Chain A
Amino acid sequence: MSLRLLDCYTHVSYGGCHDRSPGTNAPDGPRAVSQPAPGNRAQADPGAAARRRFGLRDEPADALGRQADAVAAACHAMAVRFHQGGRLVVFGTGGASADAQHVAVEFVHPVIVGKRALPAFALTADVATVTGIAERDGIAAIFAHQLRYLANPADIALGISAGAESPSVLAGLETARELGLLTVALVGGDGSAASKAAEHVLVAHSDDPRVVKEMHVTLYHVLWELVHVFFEQPGVLGPGVVT
């Protein structure tokens, strides 16, 4: 549909929120620089285009619930590794590099007061190392190299890929598996390549990498919470070194 049809202003106010007219804040406010194109007319249903896009998330979100078995198995395996002294090593490229850092901070500094800090770090935060490896050995080596020198066999490798298969994430997972780490992958589409590279594969069922990313955010929030559920029940984790 033509987005030009959206050109009408509707101010909606609701509890706890306010809405300042955007045309009043500055001489060059948005209305001043956004002249409606000729032929525009008020949209009959303001918000319809945004709601339609929100609606594209419904089915993939429902599909998350259908992966509950795989989520539970991954969380249990991760909790066992933490219990044995393992650390979580997270990696992804592009937008997923931000997700990797989000996962790391989630575990190290939980938003829920009273939850213990668990060791986790992202392989995307060290720009000097990432760019150094990429220039010398190629982009596919950026995570595998770091895993080889930073990871322990007891650790957990979590690779995140929202779009097309990422050679660097796949190589990271393969290296991690060779080293004996637990391997977990968050992927999109059908997850075919990662399913060979990782023991636990959680799939967001959408071809749109932005929608996949949103499902991944829910998945890793759930992973964090449910790892803690297991971790607080050492009876289900077997012998451990971390108390």
Chain B
Amino acid sequence: MSDALESLYPFLYSGTGDLTAVLGQVRASTVAKAAEIGELRRAVGARDGARIEECARAMAARFAAGGRLFAFGNGGSATDAAQLATLFLDPGGSAPPLPAFGLANDTSVITALANDVGPGVIFARQLAAFGRRGDIAAGLSTSGNSENLLRAFDEASRRGMLTIGLAGYDGGKMAELDSIDYLFVVPSSSVHRVQEAQTTIYQVLWELTTELTAEEMSHVPRHTR
């Protein structure tokens, strides 16, 4: 990374300590990063737009039939999982609240599983406890290689849940699984840009899914819900 940083900010590594020059480099970097994520987002929208709509329809069908969403990820992706869950559960405005759980939210459960069994089971075991046929499992990773996500997708698929994966780079091991129904890969090698584009993917998924769910439920007689 220091080589990469050096090429991005050559003046910094000349040893002058010139604040004006550093500020100039940092400004230029900000402009470049804003352009980079804009371009990446457009590429993802163009490539995956149709599948995002298809995935939203599948999610809406599950929610309309009483399904719940379980979202999971590690580190920064754990906060995305929390965000995804609260988007559905507490959207505010006119969007219908829908049942969703962030599987990284309960530190007691996570530390118990990690300590007693190992970090590989922290999501799979929760899905085994909570998940039902008709539910939705959504896992976020930048590398696509997290062991605990791979195991969670297999568990969710075994239970008949709809499975959705978000990954970066080339999709990693998540791209090799046959237990993910909808996999969205952000083609970037920057963890940061991947997370930013993933945020757009899951928020657009939420927008489309809540609209479709409201529509689906309006067609279903209340007593059958």
Closest to A214 in B: B199
Q: Using Cβ atoms and an 8 Å threshold, which residues of chain A touch B142?
A: 111
Q: Using Cβ atoms and an 8 Å threshold, which residues of chain A touch B1?
A: 112-115
Q: Using Cβ atoms and an 8 Å threshold, which residues of chain A touch B178?
A: 18, 20
Q: Do A226 and B57 contact each other (CB < 8 Å), given the known contacts A16-B175, A95-B86, A232-B12?
A: no
Q: Using Cβ atoms and an 8 Å threshold, which residues of chain A touch B29?
A: 222, 225-226, 229
Q: Do the beta carbons of B60 and A34 come within 8 Å of each other?
A: yes
Can you list, as one digit per residue, whether each of B189-203 has a CB less than 8 Å from chain A (1) or not (0)?
001100110011001
Q: Using Cβ atoms and an 8 Å threshold, which residues of chain A touch B54?
A: 9-10, 22, 46
Question: Considering the complex, which residues of chain A in the window 204-232 have a beta carbon less than 8 Å from any beta carbon of chain B?
Answer: 210, 213-214, 217-218, 221-222, 225-226, 228-230, 232
From B31, B79, B133, give the contact of A98 (CB < 8 A).
B79
Q: Using Cβ atoms and an 8 Å threshold, which residues of chain B touch A4?
A: 215
Question: Considering the complex, which residues of chain A in the window 1-52 have a beta carbon less than 8 Å from any beta carbon of chain B?
Answer: 3-4, 6-7, 9-12, 14-20, 22, 25-30, 33-34, 37, 46-51
Q: Do the beta carbons of B162 and A30 come within 8 Å of each other?
A: yes
Can you list, as one digit per residue, whether each of A47-84 has a CB less than 8 Å from chain B (1) or not (0)?
11111011101100110110111011101100000000
Q: Using Cβ atoms and an 8 Å threshold, which residues of chain A touch B12?
A: 229, 232-233
Q: Do the beta carbons of B51 and A34 come within 8 Å of each other?
A: no
Cβ of B50 to closest chain A Cβ, rounded Å: 4
Q: Do the beta carbons of A54 and B204 come within 8 Å of each other?
A: yes
Q: Using Cβ atoms and an 8 Å threshold, which residues of chain B touch A75?
A: 26
Cβ of A53 to closest chain B Cβ, rounded Å: 5
Cβ of B172 to closest chain A Cβ, rounded Å: 9
Can you list, as one digit per residue, whether each of A91-124 has a CB less than 8 Å from chain B (1) or not (0)?
0001101110110011001011111000000000
In the complex, A136 Cα to B216 Cα: how many Å?
A: 42
Range of interface residues on chain B?
35 or more
Residues of A within 8 A of B (CB-CB), count:
81
Q: Using Cβ atoms and an 8 Å threshold, which residues of chain A touch B34?
A: 61-62, 64-65, 218
Q: Do the beta carbons of A3 and B211 come within 8 Å of each other?
A: yes
Q: Do the beta carbons of A22 and B162 come within 8 Å of each other?
A: yes
Closest to B142 in A: A111
From A7, A33, A95, A214, give the contact of B200 (CB < 8 A).
A214
Can you list, as one digit per residue, whether each of A109-153 has a CB less than 8 Å from chain B (1) or not (0)?
101111100000000000000000000000000000000000000
Q: Using Cβ atoms and an 8 Å threshold, which residues of chain B touch A18?
A: 175, 178, 183
Closest to B105 in A: A127
Q: Do the beta carbons of A12 and B47 come within 8 Å of each other?
A: yes
Cβ of B128 to closest chain A Cβ, rounded Å: 16
Cβ of B169 to closest chain A Cβ, rounded Å: 8
Closest to B52 in A: A50
Q: Do A109 and B30 contact each other (CB < 8 Å), given the known contacts A7-B57, A20-B180, A54-B45?
A: no
- Enumerate chain B interface residues (CB-CB to A < 8 A): 1-2, 5, 9, 12, 15-19, 22-23, 25-31, 33-35, 37-38, 41-42, 44-54, 56-62, 64-65, 75-76, 78-80, 82-83, 86-87, 90, 92, 133-134, 142, 157, 160, 162-163, 169-171, 175, 178, 180-183, 185, 187, 191-192, 195-196, 199-200, 203-204, 206-208, 211-212, 215-216, 219
Query: Could you name 13 residue pairs across A and B whose Cβ atoms are closer than 8 Å?
Result: A6-B53, A15-B170, A34-B57, A48-B49, A49-B208, A50-B53, A54-B204, A57-B200, A62-B38, A68-B28, A98-B86, A101-B82, A210-B207
- Sorted from nearest, which 8 A-B pairs have the closest CB atoms? A235-B17, A47-B49, A54-B45, A34-B61, A30-B58, A47-B50, A16-B170, A50-B49
